[in-house]
Amino acid sequence: MSVLVVVEHDRGTIAPATLEACVAARALGEPVHALTIGVAADGLVDVLAEHGVSLVVRAHHDLLADYGPEAWGETVAHEVRRSSPSAVVATGTDRGNEVMAQAAARLDLPFVANCTEITPGEPWSIQRVRWGGSLLERCTLTAPVKLVTVAHHTHEASPAPASVTTETISPELDASLARTVVAERVERAAGVTLATAPLVVGGGRGVGSADGFGPLEELAAELGGVVGCSRAVTNNGWRNHTDQVGQTGTRIAPDLYIACGISGAIQHWVGAMASKKILAINTDAEANMVTKADYAVIGDLHQVVPAITAEIRRRRTG
């Protein structure tokens, strides 16, 4: 038997979460195979081999030229019927969960999303994240083929080189599966993204206005990071939703998150809690973000943030 990893990629660019899924798959103790969907992903064989994959199954079809949940879900289902793996492990991202939900419905199998720990056996014992990260649940999974996704940022990608072979399949996909496909792409600003930035400077309602983000931008630029924000900020129209951290925004995992004027409501916290260190700047010493942070400065962010930037510059030039 084998464990099949569904490779998340965007026109051939692998999602880092796939390599985390490889770590979880390897821990299940069976040979790890991977399914790449679409010709664009053919070039991913080497990176998958570096992460312990011994067989890459490449699915080719005209309908797989770009992402579409139904076509991808049917492709996963096709491969499960064809090769009968003991389990399928995918990324606990929007796409990974969407594809696995499609596959599970087509295979009439249960599916456990966003797992943080998996203990194989009969049944499997699983810990998973629910309710946007505010609930950890323990459950068991009994199924002839176990379908799971791995919560993003809960496993650290680590290489485990394997010798690899490849196989190409052509699933039968009918045109009705192209109901939802990526039709158009909008280029986002170049550079590091909120999800992958090593440093994020977040601003909340305490920033006070769109213009108030200027000093946060300066601090982020000085440290090679990006600016994020809370939903209070996007609701006020001060920043774009693409900058929002949280349950209904982006989940971040920087080395350092500097949270300025953010109270730390649970919906914000679930998007920020994977940060390795948190520095909170807040006038309220009892704010959730302050009590959960590794470091805190109790004070007015309009004074504290420019002072930090000035001190960094002084030390760099001095």
Alpha-carbon span 136 to 282, nearest angstrom: 29
Report the site for ligand FAD in 212-231 (rule: CB under 6 A). Answer: 230-231
State how far the Cα of 129 lies from the Cα of 127, in Å rounded to an integer. 7
Q: Which two tokens stand for residue 111?
A: 């599916």
Mapped onto helix, strand or coil, the DSSP state of residue 156 is coil
Choose which of 36, 114, 154, 282 interacts with ligand FAD (CB under 6 A): 282
94 three-class SS: helix
Strand partners, 280: 259, 296
User: By C-beta, is 118 or 281 nearer to ligand FAD?
Assistant: 281
Q: Does 255 bind ligand FAD (CB under 6 A)?
A: no
The set of residues, in sequence order, having a beta carbon less than 8 Å from that of 6 and lying 6+ positions away, is 21, 34, 35, 37, 76, 88, 89, 90, 91, 96, 99, 100
Least separation in angstroms between CB 229 and ligand FAD: 7
116 binds ligand FAD (CB under 6 A): no
Q: Which CB, 86 or 242, lies closer to ligand FAD?
A: 242
Label residues 290-310 b or e (16+ Cβ within 10 Å = b): beebeebbeeebbebbeebbe
Which region, judged by CB under 6 A, interacts with ligand FAD, from 7-15, 38-46, 151-159, 201-209?
201-209
Which of 5, 290 has the CB closer to ligand FAD? 290
Count of residues interacting with ligand FAD (CB under 6 A): 28
Out of 173, 246, 252, 293, name the contact with ligand FAD by CB under 6 A.
246
Backbone angles phi, psi at 188, to 5 degrees: -90, 165
Binder among 60, 162, 302, 306 for ligand FAD (CB under 6 A): 302
Residue selected from 93, 263, 275, 309 as contacting ligand FAD according to rule CB under 6 A? 263
Burial class (CB in 10 A: 0-12, 13-18, 19+), 110: middle
Nearest distance in Å: CB 110, ligand FAD: 26
Of the ranges 159-167, 181-189, 192-200, 204-212, which one interacts with ligand FAD (CB under 6 A)? 204-212
> Which strands form 226-229's sheet, in the order they lie side by side?
226-229, 199-203, 256-260, 277-282, 295-298
> How near is the Cβ of 5 to ligand FAD at its closest, in Å?
29
Question: Where do contacts with ligand FAD occur on this chain (CB under 6 A)?
Answer: 204-206, 230-233, 244-249, 261-263, 265, 267-268, 271, 281-284, 287, 300-302
